[in-house]
Chains A and B, each alone.
Chain A
Amino acid sequence: MIDEMQEIMEDFLVEAFEMIEQLDQDLVELESNPDDLDLLNKIFRVAHTIKGSSSFLNLDVLTKLTHHMEDVLNKARKGELKITPDIMDVVLESVDMMKALLENIRDTGSDVTDDININPVVAKLDAISNGKPIESATENSSPKEEKAEEVEVANEEKDELTEEDYANMSPEEIEAEIERLILKRQEEDKARREAKKKKEETPSNNENNSNAAESKNESSPTPAPAKAEPKVEKKETKKSVPAKKVSTVEQTIRVDVHRLDNLMNLIGELVLSKNRLIKIYNDVEERYEGEHFLDELNQVVSSISIVTTDLQIAVMKTRMLQIGKVFNKFPRVVRDLSRELGKKVNLIIKGEETELDKSIIEEIGDPLMHMIRNSVDHGIESPEERLKVGKPEVGTVELKAYNEGNQIVIEIADDGKGMDPDVLKQKALEKGIISEKEADMMSDKEAFMLIFKAGFSTAAKVTNVSGRGVGMDVVKTNVEKLNGIIEVDSTPGKGSVFKIKIPLTLAIIQALLVAAQEELFAVPLANVIETVRITLEDISTVEGKSVLKLRDEVLPLVNMSDIFKIEKILGVNQYLYVVVLGVGASKVGLIVDGLIGQEEIVIKSLGEYLKGINGIAGATIRGDGRVTLIVDVAALMKLAKETHSHTIITDSIETKKKKEKPEDYVILIVDDSNTDRKIMKKSIEPLGFTIKEASNGEEALQILKNDSNIDAALVDIEMPKMDGYTLAQEIRKYNRFKNLPLIAVTSRTTKSDRVRGVEVGMNEYITKPYTPDYLANVLKRNLKLS
């Protein structure tokens, strides 16, 4: 039974917090539209509902507070009171106190605490409802009055509840009580429906009232009881709105987030298995081309992959919340802030219905709050300044969210004073954040990004709003933690636009797989701007650093192997692959040794032991079961700036000695027949080549792995253990053997054999018997020997 009470309490808290969130927003809106009766009624209802529930739960303090709030709001909605900013301050203060009380209830289970004293606020609320000035209220509230009020509240409670101590009730009694409440609710519903009907019949009713509210003088309040009848009517009219809401609530269930997380993990595993299945299918397809069962397999694989993808999206959607949940806080923030700073700011919110993953919603609140505070504090000018430059007195901050591809964009735009890139550069120079040279090279966009540097604050004086040392740099770090990027644009005198782009979900991302030497890395596709193939000649050197001129941009170039200190075993190819990475306004060209392709990957953490490795965001398991590391692009770009030097390309070239004569080359002969090996050896050894021998594919692969000096291989096809085709396939899996000449020497002569040879990566296909000269010539041609 205690559990039941607990459950009711929990439900109450969840409901109350949701309502209060809405309340904040509504109140601020009310301030700008003080005559909006709909709003007033909505707000009144919230206070009323919380009062009702809290008295049911014996939360006396909360009941008392909400009771007095209700009084004020009741007057306001009956037009006996005009909501001025001063009154609003008090109402908002009491909402805050309500929040504090609710938090206390959540934490301790009781609303009795020494930390929160509601009496001053209650006194102010009283003063308002009695039409006295607020300032005098605090002194006026003598203890005597307080006591009287308490009694009054207690009486009221008694009216509503015959039994106060629910904890001591028997289950039967509780049931009876609940029955009674339900009955009461049903009656209310009935009344409500009737009222709704009535409302439909007299649609002009509300308007009349709001007109009345306008005309009524603020200073002529009438006691509440006198107007009791219209109060009841209006209250019920308005209750029709939540009635609609109830029906939608019934279609949802609350689910523990852990369950969803668990589900998401399972789906992650499924995605990995799906990738693996696709890979296996591709392997099988190559081998058994044209066989009938392939069709069936293909159908199964594709249907599984479609279902998996749908499932993934479906689960992702269950985790999605509307960003409005975060945005709702901001009208209040902006309102308080602008009053505090003596500015006039209008906050426009758009796209609250845009959905984002729950974990992102939780993380994005603080950075957004900071940026909005920043816009109001630093962006918007004071009313006088604004009038002076011919802008409307009221500044505008626009907060909007929308989808863009796989990303969500949150835009914060203000029409304030904007930022001057030169001023920013100057500031950064003074503070020693950048050097003179860097300042000269900087584009405007890069200059705007300076505000995100640690220790940078343009506010001349430190206000308690922003510029407390922890600033925009924290915002940037937080956004980057979500794999997001920030873009800034600004025109001096016109305003600034901040754009935060974040991925829809954190768990599964699209990535570009690249190779640094033999090692694979996954780069989040969101940060990849493009990939280009360049030649060594395209690289130019500026101040000892390698750069790439790409169209009209100059990109710093860094070799991925240098960043991660990977030993260079590959020779330098004629072509280099460059992945252009972008975070915010800065870009870097990352030289990689191979582009593998785009893949959907599931992010897994590296665990406690290996956490926090610079440049690595996590790991994923690929279709073949291997672990691939995921690059943390923001950290990588930082590392890139440190490693950036001119030696990056030439390092490995010099270690490879020049080869000109046959004597410089080592040839591997792979054949299971001793005789055949001898014939091949005889054909080419006289030219001066060094010969190594292997009697099957496995042996050959071992030799190649252990000895990287092999320059070419002559390979028989039919061999025990591992045949020539498989050998070639295995060899081509290694980046360093990508260009190793492989020459098939075989007695298989059909066309399909030749095609197969080409498919697995053979460079030449020689059929036995052959003349020694022919073999030698083919070999020389492949080694580019004349």
Chain B
Amino acid sequence: MSNQLQSIVKQQQEQTQDNSSNTTDENIIQLVGFIVGSEEFAVPILSIQEIIKPIEWTKVPFTPDFVLGVFNLRGNVLPLIDLRKKFNAPNAEFDDDARFIVIKVGDDLAGFVIDRLTEALRIEENSILPPPDTSRDAIIEGVARKDDRIITILKIKSLLKTEGE
């Protein structure tokens, strides 16, 4: 898992070097991209506490099916949310690329299951488009374009909210 992080950091450093020549850092957002189902998503890199390989978890009754349960992260009990189920992605098996992304919002921590990581992204703030009207608006911050890919940026705060689920 630390390799993964290291490679992301490395990539980022490279990107920083690439970009520093032509743009100022002020309105650049740094994100970590990942795949859930067939779509690419991203969350701000600073909201991520760590990324780990899947470990064992415990089911919790009376929760929606995308809440897999809770898991033990070095003595802390964290909820585990399967983004693939939440986004109705068909593939719900764990292969070697699957990861738990541990995201921190304020004092709350939670793990999110994703299919695989893509890369660390640096995206200019004004190139981010508002979410399309029809979509799961509450949890989408915006949509960004990178090369030929469309990346959905998730709203961290809404990911950890229980209401409406």
Does A610 lie within 8 Å of B70, measured CB to CB?
A: yes
User: Per DSSP, are chain A's interface residues mostly helix, strand or loop, or mixed?
Assistant: loop
**Cβ-defined partner of A613 (8 Å) among B57, B62, B72, B108:** B62
Question: Closest CB-CB distance, B44 to chain A, in whole Å?
Answer: 19
Does B110 lie within 8 Å of A615, measured CB to CB?
A: no
**Cβ-defined partner of A565 (8 Å) among B61, B78, B79:** B61
Question: Contact string, B59-95, partner A, CB cutoff 8 A, digits 1/0?
Answer: 1111100010111100111110000000000000000
Q: What are 6 A-B contacts defined by CB distance under 8 Å?
A: A566-B61, A604-B76, A606-B60, A610-B67, A610-B79, A619-B70
Asked if B109 is at the interface of the complex by the 8 Å CB criterion, the answer is yes
Answer whether A629 and B60 are a contact pair too, CB < 8 Å, given A607-B79, A609-B162. yes
In the complex, which range does the number of interface residues on chain B fall in?
Answer: 20 to 34
Asked if B18 is at the interface of the complex by the 8 Å CB criterion, the answer is no
For A566, the chain B residues whose CB sits under 8 A away are 59, 61
Asked if B160 is at the interface of the complex by the 8 Å CB criterion, the answer is yes
Output the nearest chain A residue to B162 by Cβ-Cβ distance: A609
Asked if A564 is at the interface of the complex by the 8 Å CB criterion, the answer is yes
| A619, B75: Cα distance in complex, Å | 11
**Cβ-defined partner of B79 (8 Å) among A269, A609, A625, A626:** A609
Asked if A222 is at the interface of the complex by the 8 Å CB criterion, the answer is no
- Which residues of B pack against A, CB within 8 Å? 56-63, 67, 69-72, 75-79, 107-110, 160, 162
Does B77 lie within 8 Å of A627, measured CB to CB?
A: yes
For A607, the chain B residues whose CB sits under 8 A away are 77-79, 108-110
For B160, the chain A residues whose CB sits under 8 A away are 608-609
Question: Closest CB-CB distance, B153 to chain A, in whole Å?
Answer: 21
Does B72 lie within 8 Å of A627, measured CB to CB?
A: yes
Does A619 lie within 8 Å of B56, measured CB to CB?
A: no
Does A621 lie within 8 Å of B72, measured CB to CB?
A: yes
For A614, the chain B residues whose CB sits under 8 A away are 62
For A606, the chain B residues whose CB sits under 8 A away are 60, 70, 77, 79
Does B57 lie within 8 Å of A627, measured CB to CB?
A: yes
| Chain A positions 531-567 with a Cβ under 8 Å from a chain B Cβ | 563-566
| A609, B59: Cα distance in complex, Å | 15
Asked if A272 is at the interface of the complex by the 8 Å CB criterion, the answer is yes
| Chain A positions 665-696 with a Cβ under 8 Å from a chain B Cβ | none
Question: Closest CB-CB distance, A582 to chain B, in whole Å?
Answer: 22
Does B75 lie within 8 Å of A610, measured CB to CB?
A: no
| A615, B79: Cα distance in complex, Å | 17
For B57, the chain A residues whose CB sits under 8 A away are 627
For B61, the chain A residues whose CB sits under 8 A away are 563-566, 613, 615-616
Asked if A519 is at the interface of the complex by the 8 Å CB criterion, the answer is yes
Does A619 lie within 8 Å of B79, measured CB to CB?
A: no
Question: Closest CB-CB distance, B111 to chain A, in whole Å?
Answer: 10
Output the nearest chain A residue to B110 by Cβ-Cβ distance: A609
| A621, B110: Cα distance in complex, Å | 17
Among all A-B residue pairs, the 7 with the closest Cβ atoms: A564-B61, A627-B58, A619-B77, A609-B79, A604-B77, A608-B108, A610-B79
Asked if A205 is at the interface of the complex by the 8 Å CB criterion, the answer is no
| A482, B53: Cα distance in complex, Å | 37
Output the nearest chain A residue to B81 by Cβ-Cβ distance: A609
Does B67 lie within 8 Å of A626, measured CB to CB?
A: no
Asked if A605 is at the interface of the complex by the 8 Å CB criterion, the answer is yes
Question: Closest CB-CB distance, B71 to chain A, in whole Å?
Answer: 6
| A613, B70: Cα distance in complex, Å | 13
Interface core residue of A564, A565, A615, A621 (most chain B CB under 10 Å): A621
**Cβ-defined partner of A627 (8 Å) among B62, B70, B110, B162:** B70
Question: Contact string, A642-679, partner B, CB cutoff 8 A, digits 1/0?
Answer: 00000000000000000000000000000000000000
Asked if A407 is at the interface of the complex by the 8 Å CB criterion, the answer is no
- Which residues of A pack against B, CB within 8 Å? 269, 272, 519, 563-566, 604-610, 613-616, 619, 621, 625-629
For B162, the chain A residues whose CB sits under 8 A away are 609
For A609, the chain B residues whose CB sits under 8 A away are 79, 108, 110, 160, 162
Question: Closest CB-CB distance, B158 to chain A, in whole Å?
Answer: 12
Interface core residue of A563, A610, A619, A628 (most chain B CB under 10 Å): A610
Answer whether A621 and B62 are a contact pair too, CB < 8 Å, given A609-B110, A610-B70. no
For B71, the chain A residues whose CB sits under 8 A away are 627
Output the nearest chain B residue to A564 by Cβ-Cβ distance: B61
| A91, B88: Cα distance in complex, Å | 71
| A561, B17: Cα distance in complex, Å | 57
Does B75 lie within 8 Å of A269, measured CB to CB?
A: yes
Interface core residue of A563, A609, A613, A615 (most chain B CB under 10 Å): A609
| A398, B163: Cα distance in complex, Å | 47
Does A519 lie within 8 Å of B77, measured CB to CB?
A: no
| A202, B155: Cα distance in complex, Å | 81
**Cβ-defined partner of A519 (8 Å) among B56, B58, B67, B110:** B58
If A609-B160, A610-B79 are given as contacts, then 4 extra A-B residue pairs at C-beta distance below 8 Å, sorted by A number, are: A564-B62, A606-B77, A613-B63, A628-B58
Answer whether A626 and B59 are a contact pair too, CB < 8 Å, given A607-B108, A609-B79. no
Question: Closest CB-CB distance, B112 to chain A, in whole Å?
Answer: 11
Does A629 lie within 8 Å of B79, measured CB to CB?
A: no
For B60, the chain A residues whose CB sits under 8 A away are 606, 610, 613, 616, 629
Does A629 lie within 8 Å of B75, measured CB to CB?
A: no
Does A615 lie within 8 Å of B62, measured CB to CB?
A: yes
Question: Closest CB-CB distance, A632 to chain B, in whole Å?
Answer: 12
Output the nearest chain B residue to A272 by Cβ-Cβ distance: B75
Does A626 lie within 8 Å of B62, measured CB to CB?
A: no
Interface core residue of A269, A519, A563, A566 (most chain B CB under 10 Å): A519
Does B78 lie within 8 Å of A625, measured CB to CB?
A: no
| A609, B63: Cα distance in complex, Å | 11
For A604, the chain B residues whose CB sits under 8 A away are 76-77
| A328, B77: Cα distance in complex, Å | 39
Output the nearest chain A residue to B67 by Cβ-Cβ distance: A610
| A616, B60: Cα distance in complex, Å | 9
| A99, B60: Cα distance in complex, Å | 48
| A589, B108: Cα distance in complex, Å | 37
| A453, B30: Cα distance in complex, Å | 55
For A613, the chain B residues whose CB sits under 8 A away are 60-63
For B56, the chain A residues whose CB sits under 8 A away are 625-626
Question: Closest CB-CB distance, A615 to chain B, in whole Å?
Answer: 7
Does B72 lie within 8 Å of A625, measured CB to CB?
A: yes
Output the nearest chain A residue to B106 by Cβ-Cβ distance: A608
For A629, the chain B residues whose CB sits under 8 A away are 58, 60, 70
For B59, the chain A residues whose CB sits under 8 A away are 519, 566
For A608, the chain B residues whose CB sits under 8 A away are 107-108, 160
For B107, the chain A residues whose CB sits under 8 A away are 608
| A685, B153: Cα distance in complex, Å | 58
Question: Closest CB-CB distance, B75 to chain A, in whole Å?
Answer: 5
Output the nearest chain A residue to B71 by Cβ-Cβ distance: A627
**Cβ-defined partner of B58 (8 Å) among A272, A615, A626:** A626
Does B110 lie within 8 Å of A605, measured CB to CB?
A: no
Output the nearest chain A residue to B160 by Cβ-Cβ distance: A609
Does B108 lie within 8 Å of A621, measured CB to CB?
A: no
Question: Closest CB-CB distance, A771 to chain B, in whole Å?
Answer: 44
Question: Closest CB-CB distance, A193 to chain B, in whole Å?
Answer: 55
Question: Closest CB-CB distance, A267 to chain B, in whole Å?
Answer: 12
Interface core residue of A563, A614, A625 (most chain B CB under 10 Å): A625
Output the nearest chain A residue to B109 by Cβ-Cβ distance: A607
For B69, the chain A residues whose CB sits under 8 A away are 627
| A629, B69: Cα distance in complex, Å | 10
Question: Closest CB-CB distance, B156 to chain A, in whole Å?
Answer: 13
Question: Closest CB-CB distance, B48 to chain A, in whole Å?
Answer: 17
For B109, the chain A residues whose CB sits under 8 A away are 607
Interface core residue of B75, B77, B79, B107 (most chain A CB under 10 Å): B77
